[in-house]
Amino acid sequence: MERMSGPYVIRGSVCLPEPELRWRFSRSSGPGGQHVNTSDTRVELSFDLAGTRALPEVWKERALERLADRLTDGVLTVRAAEHRSQWRNRETAAVRMAALLAEATAPPPKARRRRPVPAGVRERRLREKKRRGELKRGRGRAGPAWD
């Protein structure tokens, strides 16, 4: 069997550990003619997130928390069936898994610091509100008679 075109980088120097990946193949649904009835092109890629030693502990905890609704007994599963080729579906599934783990292990964003609204911005907003009010007031009773 051919090797994947990986390594699939999660972040930095951390990659998807190929020995820990579990692959399942089945027949894809949808169009494809006779080909679809004879080939197992749909790919299911599973990764035991709870039991892995390939990820730093902090990343693992973060990913387990963020992906909790997608995990089944600590195992993350990704499916791919877009292509007619099993090989391309394998590539798609591996890339999708790496992207999912990269997003889930990313550090939380910096807390936003509240700062006062600058005086110029506040004045411009109030000036624009006053102008809009005048414009709308001008459309009232004093407007042209349409009768």
> Which amino acid type is present at position 15?
C
- Nearest in space to 20 (alpha carbons), one of 65, 51, 66: 51
Structure tokens at 21: 């990946």
Tokens representing 144 are: 């042209």
Q: pLDDT tens digit string along 104-141?
A: 888 888 999 999 999 999 999 999 999 999 999 888 76
Tens of pLDDT, residues 14-44? 888 888 888 988 877 766 666 656 677 788 9
Structure tokens given for 31: 């169009």
Instruction: Specify the DSSP element, H or E, that contains 8.
Output: none
pLDDT for residue 117: 93
Q: How far apart are CA 57 and CA 9, in angstroms?
A: 17
User: The whole model's pTM is what?
Assistant: 0.66
CA–CA dist 137, 94 (Å, integer): 61
Q: Please provide the DSSP assignment of 17-42 as one string.
A: -GGGEEEEEEPPPSS-TTHHHH---E
Token readout for 123 is: 């004045």
**Which residues are CB-contacts of 11 (< 8 A; sequence separation ≥ 6)?**
102, 105, 106
How big is the CA angle at 39 (ends 2 and 15), to the nearest 5 degrees? Answer: 35
Task: Tell me what pLDDT residue 55 has.
Answer: 85
